[in-house]
Amino acid sequence: MDIFRMLAVARKEAHHVVRDSRSLHLALGIPVMLMVLFGYALSLDVDNIPLAVWDQDRTPESRELIDRMTSSNYFRMVLYTDSYNQLVQAVDLRQASVALTIPRDFARDILRRKGASVQALVDGSDSTRAGIAIGYLEVILSTYREELLQDEMNRQAVVKVQIPVEPRIRLLYNPELKSRINIIPGLIAIIMMVIAALLTSLTIVRERETGTMEQLISTPVKAQELILGKLIPYFVLGFVDLTIVYLMSQYVFDVPFRGNLALMFFLSGLFLAGSLSVGLMISAYAQTQVFATQFAMLGTFLPSFILSGFVFPINNMPQVIQFFTYLVPARYYVTILRGIYLKGVGLEALAVQAAMLAIFCLITAMVASRGVGKKL
């Protein structure tokens, strides 16, 4: 392999990238647009749940229960009614996600140490939001019940009764439980996969459509030199995109970075090289630029978004689908980014994922080289 021929191809491709201002603007603008859209629009936080209440008891005990719910920042009072029909209608019209009914004898049952009950109607059309809302309700009601029991026992006992087990929970890596902190590192993997494949998906097919492929055939450039020469400018451009999304994660979304920056860029280079090879492989076998672009977008974005663990936990997927996730390189890159970003782990904890990225890079480069070699 002649390095001068490879650099000549790289210089030719770099000139084309600079001349094509629209593609250059898209290459630099799409990461920013995706970071803004997903960073602000995609949120898994469930708070300020609309709450409707029908308090039939109207006692200090019932008002205290309502205050506990509305002061927790999990629920937001939107309707206080005197009619059960209005309560159900609020849920039907999606004005309220949770409707709480407090019966007339609520305080009396508590004072008589009988089992006081409340009714909660939860909108189950959004199963995830409904499940979290039920969890919030159970925690608030169980805490309220334990405090009432402890007060009653303290009144009856000579000495103050202490709770036998007091849990002290410490949240690691994301103490405020902000979904954005978990989303942004995974989003970087999706952006790099899509951008890298799109950048190189037009390289070979464009040469074929414009008629310059014959000129390359007549030159002594080998397939490996052609591939590496075409990848170098896009590899540099991909690192520019990576730097942009990294700076945005730090200074726009305030995502903490606890790991080694050099390790993150090194492993990102492996993933970027493999993703660029995927785009080049698509370009080598595609017949038109339109097909290459569409296939690169669908073939990289959908698997990376759905099967990488970026949004949907892999452990919750069926066993058959979990098997296919091992074939998605973004799965390993998402784990790497979250480990380096949020946990600050080193290469010893990410050795398996790094090895899988290296294998992915090697296989895609070989397949791309074979495809380009056939065309030459």
CATH number at residue 93: 3.40.1710.10
Helix, strand, coil abundance in the chain, percent, nearest 5 = 65, 5, 25
Q: What is the mean pLDDT of the chain?
A: 84
Same domain for 354 and 207? yes
Cα–Cα distance measured from residue 376 to residue 369, given in angstroms and rounded to the nearest whole number: 10
Rg of the chain, C-alpha, whole Å: 29
> 135-150 b/e with 16+ CB inside 10 Å = b?
ebbeebeeebeeebee
Q: What value does the mean pLDDT take over residues 243-251? A: 92
pLDDT value, residue 373 = 55
pLDDT value, residue 355 = 94
| Residue range(s) defining the domain that contains residue 360 | 3-43+180-375
pLDDT value, residue 374 = 42
Give the count of domains, the chain: 2
Cα–Cα distance measured from residue 333 to residue 188, given in angstroms and rounded to the nearest whole number: 9
Same domain for 151 and 276? no
Same domain for 274 and 185? yes
- Residue 375: pLDDT band (50, 70, 90) is very low
- Residues paired with 185 in a beta bridge: none
Same domain for 364 and 216? yes
Cα–Cα distance measured from residue 285 to residue 135, given in angstroms and rounded to the nearest whole number: 51
Residue 37's identity, in one-letter code, is: L
Same domain for 230 and 139? no
Residue 349, judged by CB atoms within 10 A of its CB (0-12, 13-18, 19+), counts as: middle
- Residue 353: pLDDT band (50, 70, 90) is very high
- Residue 263: pLDDT band (50, 70, 90) is very high
Inter-residue contact 93 to 47 (CB < 8 Å): no
Q: Is position 221 within any domain? A: yes
Inter-residue contact 230 to 203 (CB < 8 Å): yes
- Residues paired with 107 in a beta bridge: none
Give the length of the chain.
376
- Residue 376: pLDDT band (50, 70, 90) is very low
361: which 2 tokens? 């890079």
Is pLDDT at 186 greater than 70 in this prediction? yes
Is pLDDT at 161 greater than 60 in this prediction? no
Residue 148 gets which letter from DSSP? H
Cα–Cα distance measured from residue 284 to residue 202, given in angstroms and rounded to the nearest whole number: 9
Residue 305's identity, in one-letter code, is: F
pLDDT value, residue 26 = 78
Is pLDDT at 317 greater than 60 in this prediction? yes
Q: Is position 175 within any domain? A: no
Q: What value does the mean pLDDT take over residues 278-295? A: 82
CB atoms within 10 A of CB 73: 9
Spatial CA neighbour of 160 closest among 151, 168, 173, 169: 151
pLDDT value, residue 199 = 81
Is pLDDT at 209 greater than 80 in this prediction? no
Is pLDDT at 265 greater than 90 in this prediction? yes
Q: What value does the mean pLDDT take over residues 244-255? A: 91
Q: What value does the mean pLDDT take over residues 284-312? A: 84
Same domain for 216 and 352? yes
Same domain for 121 and 7? no
Residue 347, judged by CB atoms within 10 A of its CB (0-12, 13-18, 19+), counts as: middle
Q: What value does the mean pLDDT take over residues 44-63? A: 86
Same domain for 148 and 195? no
Q: Which residue has the tokens 């809302």?
A: 133
Higher pLDDT, 159 or 269: 269
Inter-residue contact 56 to 103 (CB < 8 Å): yes
pLDDT in tens, 102-136: 988 888 887 776 777 888 999 988 887 888 888 88
- The structure's pTM equals 0.79
